[in-house]
Amino acid sequence: MNKSIDDHIDAGEAVFKWVQHTPVGQLKTLEDSKLSELREELIKEVRSVGRALQWVDGIIKLKNIERHKTSNKNA
């Protein structure tokens, strides 16, 4: 039985949430290759979250700059 990690995780569910809610005993039953696959998926999620965070931070900074420019024009 050679299931992929996708077979263990519901579609659309974040891998880290699945790992958090999976009992350690169940994780221990996974083959090393599956654990490595999980690790790689978690790394991808971390990178995606990091990029999303950078986008949001950038938008916040941009909005602050725009507000500052608007307030300077009105002053």
Indicate whether this model's pTM tops 0.75.
no
First to last CA, the chain: 70
Euclidean distance between CA atoms 15 and 1, whole angstroms = 21
Length of the chain: 75
A 10 A CB-CB count for 20 gives 8
Cα separation, 37 vs 4, in Å, equals: 8
Domain boundaries, the chain: 11-74
Which tens digit of pLDDT belongs to each residue from 54-71? 999 999 999 999 999 888
Place 1 in a pLDDT band, splitting at 50, 70 and 90.
very low
- 7-66 pLDDT, tens digit per residue, is 667 777 889 999 999 999 999 999 999 999 999 999 999 999 999 999 999 999 999 999
List, in order, residues 6 or more apart from 30 with CB less than 8 Å away: 8, 38
